[in-house]
Amino acid sequence: MITERIVLNDRGAMLDAYILKTSKEMPNMTKRPAILVIPGGGYKMVSDREGEPVAMPFLAEGYNAFVLTYSVGKGKAAFPNPLEEAELALELIRNNAEKWNIIPDKIAAIGFSAGGHLAAALSTMGRVRPNALILGYPCILKWDNTDVLAEPIMSLDDKVTKDTPPTFIFSSSSDSLVPIENSLRFADALNKAGVSFEVHIFAGGWHGFSIASEVVLPDKRSLEANAHTAEWVRMCMTWLKKSLNF
């Protein structure tokens, strides 16, 4: 695997690329789909738990992966800064498709929590958009509480159109930080726009469970509380292969 870090601007935005090598032993994988990973963190920070650990399962399934570090903190995180950086990242991946052995029309984006808000913004408002969207316990609705978020955010359910890409959503009904109304409202908007989607609301699980493994969760209690939510990875891979026709 080849890794590369690309600086996007002087605000600290970066793109970490994880490019799988091609080999004559794997003739079906000379060209690959790709996944753009957008971690959460309340636009105050970029969560390590929702970055590289999320990229790894997709790499194992044959995707080239990219993790976006976008502008965070008061002022820097104000829109459109993060959206412009997500657009730049996606554009960079498409423009380098030949170099990185990527199929340019098979690029998905996955975002978690506030990163889900950014991924949804990219998919509904972006001048460039992914071919599939995955949202983990996403912030979707307008939120002015800057105790939780670095900057107020706009609602995105009213930005959904028929041009929004097919979407996979997962969240937990016991999430005490981002209510499942966010996921359900986005799903309802997708339904009304005629966009293909799949939704999984788990009965248990804490906010920020990421891939819900010992790699990202701190102790046995956390693993037990979030055990079932780990199923999203397997279900998402099945859905994504079908959605991208990969």
Between the two ends of the chain, the Cα-to-Cα distance in Å is 21
Chain-wide mean pLDDT for the chain?
95
Per-residue confidence at 223, pLDDT binned at 50, 70, 90? confident
Alpha helix ranges (H) inside the chain:
52-60, 81-95, 114-125, 181-193, 220-225, 231-244
| Per-residue model confidence (pLDDT) at position 222 | 83
For 186-197, the DSSP string reads HHHHHHHHT--E
CATH number at residue 138: 3.40.50.1820
| Per-residue model confidence (pLDDT) at position 113 | 97
Range of the domain at 215: 2-244
Cis peptide before 80 (omega within 30 of 0): yes
Residue with the bigger pLDDT between 185 and 22: it is 185
How many independent structural domains does the chain possess? 1
Q: Which two tokens stand for residue 87?
A: 């657009």
pLDDT in tens, 69-117: 999 999 999 999 999 999 999 999 999 999 999 999 999 999 999 999 9
- Mean pLDDT, residues 130-134: 98
